[in-house]
Structure 1
């Protein structure tokens, strides 16, 4: 993967295909390969005629590892996305984020609406507004010397996932301890681009897709039947819904 300098932070990215650009922003402790390549997203979107751009968030994958929690605010991470578009000379793109990536995508829309043609919030519904509780125990789980020391089931699942993606656990703990800027109903009401909210119906981490979509003018809802937060990522219904949505974007 090539990389570029995002205001002093090295960010690794991929750029495949041609056509209308779509920028993919992955979730916590994931990376381009785990979130977008292995589940078939890059291939699906490329075959549909898109130029598919994806990057490893700061602290993740092949991007630079940072250990100061203050470096991981969603607005700062959204600036990495904006600078990547600048680096590639792309004025405007469709944007799809999953989980943490959906939060980052939201702040990209809030702060740079002129750069976003449409936005897809995947794996994050109404909990984008309500916020995630218990980040302290999750950070402790990532900092534990051994996974056997983690007894909380939710915290253990985060640690297992981070290990499966070969993440830098110290960087992931810093990310988890980072700022938690609120997303307000008033901010969501300012979104003026086409929006799709796609969440698994069994996803207790993301929360209701319909409840979030109701706060965004004209937003569409895609409820992924029988899928939780992890299993929704590569779901074929999710892919079909996104492709249909993209064909409707002016």
Structure 2
């Protein structure tokens, strides 16, 4: 992993392979190693002739940990992605985000449409336009002295995942508490690049891929059969659908 300064925040990233660039943006409480390396996405994409740039979002992985909620939020994190493209002198790239990363990629495509060639929103479907609800229990779970003190089953799942990824729990609590700028149906309809929405058929966190794709002109939907939010990310069918989508739009 290398690092660069994004408006004074140290951001870690990986850059490997050769070919058309694709920027990968991981989900909440994850990191490059967990979201993209352990699932063989890095190998899949580089073997397919792609240059892979993968960012550790602020507060995550090897990037700087921040404890002020004002230092987070998808629009601000999208600017980290844009500055990384600037840093690497990449004018235009495909982008793929998972869960929170998909939301960040949507803001990137809206704020800087000329920088995004295609966008893949994975692990987040129709719930992208519903916004993030119920973050309080997750923040409290992250701040609890022990996971044994967490009764809420969903919040407990997030705490367990954060411990698995060896994350800074205080930084993640600040991230999840940050303002969740809404993406309206009107906003999402303004995305003009080719879009693929890929969500697990059993993913209650992300919502329907088909329903989100209906809101974006020309967007395609891919339902990752038999997968929930946590198990969809490494699915072979999802990988195949992404490679085919990228090839169709080369």
In the superposition, the TM-score normalised over structure 1's length comes to: 0.99
**Structure 1 ranges of 4+ moved more than 4 A:** none
**Which residue of structure 2 lines up, in the alignment, with residue 148 of structure 1?**
148
2-structure distance, mates of 1:105, 1:71? 18
Residues 17-76 of structure 1: CA distance to partner in whole angstroms, max 9, x if unpaired? 000000000000000000000000000000000000001000000000000011111110
Distance in structure 1 (CA, Å) of the matches to 2:184 and 2:21: 28
Shift, 1:132, TM fit = 2.2
**1:246, distance to aligned residue in structure 2 (A):** 0.2
Q: Which residue of 1 aligns with 2:80?
A: 80
Equivalent position of 2:173 in the other structure: 173
Alignment gaps of 5+ in structure 2: none
Q: Match for residue 217 of structure 2?
A: 217
Distance (Å, rounded) in 1 between the aligned partners of 2:193 and 2:31 = 26
> Which secondary structure does the structure 1 equivalent of 2:95 belong to?
strand
Cα distance in 2 for partners of 1:57, 1:184 equals 23
- The equivalent of 2:203 in structure 1 is 203
Once residues 184 and 131 of structure 1 are traced to their aligned partners in structure 2, the CA distance between those partners, rounded to angstroms, is 9
SS in 2 for 1:214: helix
2:226 aligned partner: 226
Equivalent in the alignment of 1:243: 243
**Where in structure 2 are the equivalents of 1:112-131 lying within 5 Å?**
112-131=112-131
Cα distance in 1, alignment partners of residues 2 and 12 from structure 2: 6
CA distance in 1, matches of 2:10, 2:243: 31
Q: Separation in 1 of the partners of 2:85 and 2:99? A: 21
Equivalenced residues, count: 250
Distance in 2 (CA, whole Å) between partners of 1:159 and 1:30 is 12
Which whole-Å CA distance do the structure 2 matches of 1:173 and 1:24 have between them? 23
Secondary structure of residue in 1 paired with 2:129: helix
SS across alignment from 2:71 = helix
Partner residue, 1:137:
137
Is 1:15 aligned to 2:53, yes or no?
Answer: no
Distance in 2 between the 1:89 and 1:8 partners? 19
**Greater Cα shift, 124-133 or 209-218:** 124-133
1:162 aligns with 2:162: yes
Distance in 1 (alpha carbons) for counterparts of 2:231 and 2:208: 16
User: What are the Cα deviations for residues 81-117 of structure 1, in whole angstroms up to 9, with x where unaligned?
Assistant: 0000000000000000000000000000000000000
Flag structure 1 segments of 5+ consecutive residues without an equivalent.
Answer: none
Superposed CA RMSD in Å reads: 0.5
